[in-house]
């Protein structure tokens, strides 16, 4: 498959029944365009990830990128850190994503040690790591499966290690949430999505992407053993959290 990237028109035709959203070939080919136009702050989070890693990562540490899609986290880290600074395992459940990520990382960063593994983050045998990134991935697991994954990641982290967790979130207050969702739809309109695309994607993601509140995320991290967690980024109903395991 070529590495060509297309504009996201996945939800631009009126379908009789809107399929559940899945990470298939059609989504993969337009993925970079889709995520940039539909996740507020996506580029800023990736850019800052390199800075955070440069500050926190023990030299030569192992890094996980869980739910790597096309390998953007690996690209961001390799763009900021030299090859000897870290080695990375990028994991994704979707074979189409894994194939593209593997090609991209090998082509763009041949000197960095970055492997791409097809696997399910719910059942991985995690190795000790200094940094684990879940960039908009936990949200696709069923809510009842999230505690066990976060707990496994806490145990995999070395003392002094950090977890970066970026997620679509829901506000505690219904009125606040409605405002955030409305402005999020404005954000998508401003980025060229039509009313039909916005409403069809919303339907497709129903029951596939169930967001937690920031409070629920922090409580889960604390319950898993993390010593401290803070929301370091928020743009509308999208946020990124850093969680620390003390040295
Ligand atoms: C980025 N982090 O560009 N195990 C492994 N992968 C999974 C699982 C699972 N159980 N469930 C879903 N995925 C990326 C963006 S996208 C976010 C992450 C989005 C994978 C799924 O195949 C998809 O590639 C990814 O998680 C979510 O920084 O599409 O909004």
CATH code assigned at 239: 3.40.50.150
What is the residue with the minimal CA distance to atom 25 of ligand 1? 67
Please give the pLDDT value at position 138.
Answer: 98
Residue 81 has, within 13 A of its CA and on its CB side, a CA count of: 31
Query: Which residues lie closer than 8 Å to 134 by C-beta, 6 or more apart?
Result: 66, 67, 121, 153, 163, 164, 165, 166, 167
CA angle (221 as vertex; 227, 59 as ends), nearest 5: 60
pLDDT of residue 29: 67
In terms of pLDDT, which residue wins out, 1 or 75?
75
Contact 241, 185 (CB under 8 A): no
Range of the domain at 116: 42-170+209-244
Percent of the chain surpassing pLDDT 70: 89
Distance 47 CA to ligand 1 centre (A): 19
Residue nearest to atom 3 of ligand 1 (CA): 72
Residue 116 lies in a domain: yes
Averaged confidence pLDDT in the chain: 90
Counting atoms of ligand 1 from 1, which one is nearest the CA of 94?
Answer: 22
Q: Does 13 fall in a domain?
A: no
Q: Is residue 182 part of a domain?
A: no
| Residues recorded for the chain | 247
Q: Is residue 101 part of a domain?
A: yes
Q: Token pair of 50, please?
A: 């390199």
Angle separating helix axes 146-156 and 214-224, nearest 10 degrees: 50
pTM of the predicted model as reported, rounded to 2 decimal places: 0.90
Answer left, alpha or beta for residue 165, where phi above 0 means left and psi between -120 and 50 means alpha: beta
Q: How many domains does the chain have?
A: 1
Could you tell me if residue 177 is inside a domain?
no
The binding-site residues of ligand 1, defined as CB within 6 angstroms of any ligand atom, are: 23, 35, 67-69, 72-73, 91-94, 97, 120-122, 135-137, 140-141
- CA of residue 24 to ligand 1 center, whole Å: 12
pLDDT score of 97 more than 70: yes
Give residue-wise pLDDT tens across range 196-221. 888 888 887 877 799 999 999 999 99
Nearest residue to 143 via CA among 232, 220, 236: 220
123 is a domain residue: yes
Vertex 35: Cα angle to 1 and 124 (nearest 5): 70
Q: Whose CA is nearest to atom 4 of ligand 1?
A: 120
Band of residue 149 on the pLDDT scale cut at 50, 70, 90:
very high
Residue 88: inside a domain: yes
Residue 195 domain flag: no
């Amino acid at each position: 498959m070529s590495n060509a990237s297309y504009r996201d028109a996945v939800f631009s035709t009126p379908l009789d029944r809107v399929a559940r959203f899945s990470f298939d070939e059609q989504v993969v080919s337009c993925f970079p365009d889709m995520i940039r136009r539909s996740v507020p702050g996506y580029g800023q989070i990736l850019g800052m990830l390199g800075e955070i890693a440069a500050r926190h990562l023990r030299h030569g540490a192992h890094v996980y990128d869980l739910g790597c899609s096309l390998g953007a986290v690996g690209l961001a880290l390799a763009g900021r850190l030299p090859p000897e600074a870290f080695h990375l395992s990028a994991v994704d459940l979707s074979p189409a994503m894994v194939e593209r990520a593997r090609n991209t990382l090998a082509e763009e960063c041949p000197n960095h040690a970055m492997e791409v593994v097809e696997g399910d983050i719910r059942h991985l045998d995690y190795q000790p790591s200094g940094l684990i990134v879940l960039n908009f991935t936990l949200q696709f697991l069923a809510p009842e499966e999230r505690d066990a994954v976060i707990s496994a990641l806490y145990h995999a982290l070395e003392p002094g290690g950090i977890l970066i967790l970026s997620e679509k979130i829901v506000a505690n207050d219904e009125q606040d949430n409605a405002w955030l969702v409305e402005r999020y739809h404005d954000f998508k309109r401003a980025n060229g999505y039509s009313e039909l695309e916005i409403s069809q994607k919303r339907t497709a993601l129903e029951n596939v992407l169930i967001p937690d509140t920031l409070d629920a995320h922090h409580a889960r991290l604390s319950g898993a053993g993390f010593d401290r967690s803070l929301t370091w980024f928020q743009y509308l109903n999208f946020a990124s959290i850093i969680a620390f395991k003390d040295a």
